Structure 1
Amino acid sequence: MDLGGFLKALARRWLSVTALTLLGLGAGIAFTAYSTPRYQAGSQIFVSTRTASDITALNQGSAFSQARVQSYADIISSPLIAAPVVRQLGLDMTPAQLAGHISASVKLNTVLIDITVTDTSPARSAMIANFVAREASRQLVSLETPPGQKAAPVNIGITRNAQPPTTPISPKPLLNGAAGLLAGLVAGVALAVLRDTLDTTLHTSHALAEATRLATLGGIPYDKRAPGSPLAAGSAAYGARAEAFRLLRTNLQFAQVDRKPRVIMVTSALPGEGKTNTAANLALSLAETGGKVCLVDADLRNPCVAKNFGLVQDAGLTSVLIGQATADEVLQECGEHGLLVLTSGPMPPNPAELLSSDRMRQILEGLAESFDTVVVDSAPLLPVADTVGLAPAVDGTVLVVRARRTPAERAKAAVDALHSVNAPVLGAVLSMVTVKHKGYGYGYGYGYGQRPTEAKNLLAAPRKAEADKIGTAG
């Protein structure tokens, strides 16, 4: 992924990146709020040797002390020193547990040992540090005393007593908050990149064209009212969605310049991609131009056209296929533009065989002679074989792909299925596209919110004023 792709992935997933960043910051703040404060107090001891006062002996004693202090530091932070301190102070912990709170370090090239004690109480940490220093002085001298002798070759003195600390060493609010913020940001960016890498769905018309190698005929904007009102008619005939279907209608006129397709099948790779709504609204848009248009519901497994238009489904395409009726007898008119609909009819047990039959081809040829355009709504391509058998009988197919849901490999598989039967494919439509800006107009500010009735009223106003003027003059 290059820098441009990385930035686009962040832009697409900005919400999750922001959420995880804030979550990380919140976790850092919560960790600080619920953490028990810990305090650290320190004392210091000095190691010297009992030697003569001449320079040579002093140097030898100093070298001896420096060689021993690291071993002393290890002993100080052991249960050997911690056990007497626990008994003397009556601490509610074992010597091993106390030893875990004690640390001893040696200053470089010195005989000074710094003793540090960490505890949840500032006063107790100082008290323990002082007791450890005294106990270490006693124990180390005892360990260095040879058997049978009263004096040890080393002398240990306390050079600094511990004082109760005023501020805790942990938690650190700024550090925890910054760490949480950074961790959340890194997690958000990583998740955004991972999701973008794993997301093979098609988001844009460019991605659709690249995946399917088809011309993109249009993009249908997402409308939350569409499930309840799937038809872009009535009050919905003047919005962005209706205009998108008009643009699809216009682009279809250029799909095959040499031979205008009269029977157009609308399908999709998978269910739920908006093919039925696209077919119905495309037919309505074509009927608006004054041509004779017929919409055929050839999805014999899950027919929805009759429901969308409020028509009777008891007799339709299957009735014609089995010879119970003619197409003219079961066609139903709907809409103010004279659109005729051939519903699916009763659901058959063998839809694939019916749709791939010569009888189906004859029905479509007969409708093509009677109408300027026949729009066929068919079943999804990949789950069933119905549409693959029907595809060679039409003049062209429009593939509907749902934005941000259909994987690229599924869309490509659908195109390959059509090409496998030499079916002509007119192009693809990206449905349910998220529109970032209100209105419609290719970025030039053209809107389509004014209804024809409003325009009529605007024209009628001056005529009425003129008529009133004439009436007054008379």
Structure 2
Amino acid sequence: MDLHGFLKALARRWLTVVVCLVLAVGAAVAATSLSTPAYEASTQLFVATRASEDTTQLSQGQSFSQARVQSYAAIVPTRQVTGPVVRELKLGITPEELASRITAEAPLNTVLINISVRDTSPKRAASIANAVAASFSAVVERLEKPKPTDRQDPEGEPSASPDPVSPVSLGVTQHAVAPAGPVSPRPLVNLAAGVLAGLLLAVGLVVLRETLDTTLKTSQAVGELTGLSGLGAIPYDKSAPALPLITAAGHSQRAEAFRKLRTNLQFAQVDDRPRIIMVTSSVPGEGKTNTSVNLALSLAEAGVSTCLVDADLRRPCVAKSFGLVQDAGLTTVLIGQARVDEVMQQADGRVSVLASGAVPPNPTELLASTRMSEVLRELASAYEVVIVDTAPLLPVADTIGLARLAQGTLLVVRASKTNRDQVRTAVEALERVGGRILGTVFNMTEAPKGDPYGAYGEYGELPSPRVSAHPREATAMDLAGEK
């Protein structure tokens, strides 16, 4: 997935991004509001050596202090230091718990030790820091003090040596004071962390969903998968359920998309133009019937004599789309109860419609029968184009038998619903029986933003299609219709 595709995926799944941001920011706000404020007080000590004024001894003492000051910092949180502080201030906690609140560090190449203490009370934090500094100084001086040794006087009598003194001393350079504000929680930092965490979570979920989502998002992806030409991309129109026919949609984007499909279909098959075109899909719900109906209307609008056959004998919908009678139609003809012209109906004053008729118990056998082949040839001799709406390919075998009788097939693919395996299986099924696939129709795709012609602006209304007095003499330019 390139950057452009990734950004489009984020835009497409904006709700996921918003939910992740809201959850992460909410968690950050909740954590901030529920956290107990913590205050930090700091004190600083200076480590010096007791030496004479001799320059050499002073230099040696400085090196001695720097060499040992890192070890001193590690002594600060020990029990020897914290135990007396707990007893002195009557803190009510263990020395180990106090040690967890203490931080000590010794900057390199210095003889300074910084001690910080955190507590829920600013005054107590300062008191503890000062007490820790005093206790620590006493512990270090005690540890560094040499042990006393016995020695003899000149007369050979033993005499006690003077009390030894620690070679180092620690002085406080900065006493701890009660801090003015807490060091945690930090609302702005927590909010920024929440936003960042929400974005990272959203990106992760989007990438995961895009990786696991095998549905087809663009007509280019369909072409790359199948190797078939994309003859049309029908945009999603929320008004389509109420106005399914393009004759009622006027010059909407959806109506124009069907006119482009008609033009592309006509010019894509100039040398060997099919007269019987089957329209199908991989699975139900992809819009094949709506495509069949509106393709037939657009062809008739361009002056092409068109017959629409409802060959979906399991869930017929063509008659319902036009408000026609469904009980008499294709099955009535196939079982010999009526002739084609007796059950043919007119829709919208332009398209001849052969409804499905009564739903039979054996649709697969009827559609693959010799009589079905004869009916299609009869219709092809009477009309320039016969559009056959069929059942979906994968759930039932009806369409596979019919594909051998058609002269071309349009495969409808619904954007962001049909997955790769379904399309691939459908194409393979048609190719196995020798079906001629004319191309794909990418249905319910995202509508293009805006109208580059400003709702047709200076072009005005599209001209009415020029209908030939003799439909058989209609040329390719006639079929192209409008600009």
Report the TM-score when normalising by structure 1.
Answer: 0.81
- Asked if 1:416 corresponds to 2:425, the answer is no
**Residue aligned with 1:360, SS:** helix
Q: Which moved more, 1:150-159 or 1:424-433?
A: 150-159
10, 17, 34: which one aligns with 1:13: 10
1:130 to partner: Cα distance: 0.6
1:403 to partner: Cα distance: 2.1
1:49 to partner: Cα distance: 5.0
| Cα separation, 2, equivalents of 1:94 and 1:221 | 71
**Residue aligned with 2:442, SS:** strand
Question: Amino acid of the residue matched to residue 42 of structure 1?
Answer: S
- Asked if 1:116 corresponds to 2:129, the answer is no
374, 381, 388: which one aligns with 1:369: 381
Q: Which moved more, 1:438-447 or 1:43-52?
A: 438-447
- Kept after mapping to 2: 8 A contact 1:20/1:187: no
**Residue aligned with 1:219, SS:** strand
| Cα separation, 1, equivalents of 2:454 and 2:367 | 40
Q: Aligned runs of 1:225-264 on 2, under 5 Å? A: 225-233=239-247, 235-264=248-277
- Kept after mapping to 2: 8 A contact 1:203/1:404: yes
- Kept after mapping to 2: 8 A contact 1:239/1:448: no
**Residue aligned with 1:93, SS:** coil
| Cα separation, 1, equivalents of 2:424 and 2:173 | 81
- Kept after mapping to 1: 8 A contact 2:42/2:177: yes
- Kept after mapping to 2: 8 A contact 1:238/1:451: no
What is residue 41 of structure 2 aligned with on the other side?
41
348, 362, 380: which one aligns with 2:360: 348
230, 245, 251: which one aligns with 1:216: 230
Q: Which moved more, 1:251-260 or 1:138-147?
A: 138-147
Per-residue CA distance 1:399-455 (angstroms, 9 max, x = gap) = 111123223443333222222211122222111122233458699757787898xxx
| Cα separation, 1, equivalents of 2:114 and 2:203 | 44
- Asked if 1:267 corresponds to 2:280, the answer is yes
Change (3 A) 1:252 1:44: closer
What is residue 218 of structure 2 aligned with on the other side?
204
What is residue 467 of structure 1 aligned with on the other side?
none
What is residue 153 of structure 2 aligned with on the other side?
none
Gaps of 5+ in 1: 453-474
What is residue 77 of structure 1 aligned with on the other side?
77
- Kept after mapping to 1: 8 A contact 2:282/2:426: yes
Per-residue CA distance 1:285-334 (angstroms, 9 max, x = gap) = 22334544322111122222222222333333233333344333333333
384, 388, 398: which one aligns with 2:396: 384
Matched residue count: 447
Q: Which moved more, 1:438-447 or 1:159-168?
A: 438-447
Q: Which moved more, 1:26-35 or 1:277-286?
A: 26-35
1:162 to partner: Cα distance: 0.7
What is residue 428 of structure 1 aligned with on the other side?
440
Per-residue CA distance 1:322-355 (angstroms, 9 max, x = gap) = 3344333333333222x23222233333322322
| Cα separation, 2, equivalents of 1:256 and 1:436 | 27
| Cα separation, 2, equivalents of 1:195 and 1:122 | 49
Change (3 A) 1:266 1:439: same
1:58 to partner: Cα distance: 5.6
1:393 to partner: Cα distance: 0.1
1:204 to partner: Cα distance: 3.3
- Kept after mapping to 1: 8 A contact 2:363/2:398: yes
Aligned-CA RMSD value: 3.4
What is residue 419 of structure 2 aligned with on the other side?
407
Question: Amino acid of the residue matched to residue 238 of structure 2?
Answer: K
Change (3 A) 1:258 1:53: closer
Question: Amino acid of the residue matched to residue 101 of structure 1?
Answer: R
- Kept after mapping to 1: 8 A contact 2:410/2:439: yes
Change (3 A) 1:59 1:427: closer
**Residue aligned with 1:416, SS:** helix
1:118 to partner: Cα distance: 1.6
Question: Amino acid of the residue matched to residue 377 of structure 2?
Answer: E
- Kept after mapping to 1: 8 A contact 2:21/2:202: no
| Cα separation, 2, equivalents of 1:247 and 1:75 | 83
Question: Amino acid of the residue matched to residue 76 of structure 2?
Answer: I
- Asked if 1:335 corresponds to 2:334, the answer is no
Question: Amino acid of the residue matched to residue 39 of structure 2?
Answer: Y
1:90 to partner: Cα distance: 2.8
| Cα separation, 2, equivalents of 1:180 and 1:21 | 10
What is residue 88 of structure 2 aligned with on the other side?
88
1:59 to partner: Cα distance: 5.8
| Cα separation, 1, equivalents of 2:239 and 2:456 | 26
Q: Which moved more, 1:137-146 or 1:212-221?
A: 137-146
Per-residue CA distance 1:112-159 (angstroms, 9 max, x = gap) = 322111223322211110111122223344445567786553544433
Per-residue CA distance 1:79-102 (angstroms, 9 max, x = gap) = 332233223323243322211110
Change (3 A) 1:44 1:250: closer
1:104 to partner: Cα distance: 1.6
**Residue aligned with 1:259, SS:** coil
Q: Percent identity?
A: 54
| Cα separation, 2, equivalents of 1:303 and 1:380 | 12
| Cα separation, 1, equivalents of 2:205 and 2:390 | 38
Q: Aligned runs of 1:269-284 on 2, under 5 Å? A: 269-284=282-297
Q: Which moved more, 1:124-133 or 1:182-191?
A: 182-191
| Cα separation, 2, equivalents of 1:254 and 1:66 | 89
Change (3 A) 1:44 1:393: same
Q: Which moved more, 1:130-139 or 1:305-314?
A: 305-314
What is residue 160 of structure 2 aligned with on the other side?
none
| Cα separation, 2, equivalents of 1:15 and 1:279 | 29
Change (3 A) 1:145 1:212: same
Change (3 A) 1:278 1:151: same
What is residue 359 of structure 1 aligned with on the other side?
371
- Kept after mapping to 2: 8 A contact 1:240/1:440: no
- Asked if 1:135 corresponds to 2:132, the answer is no
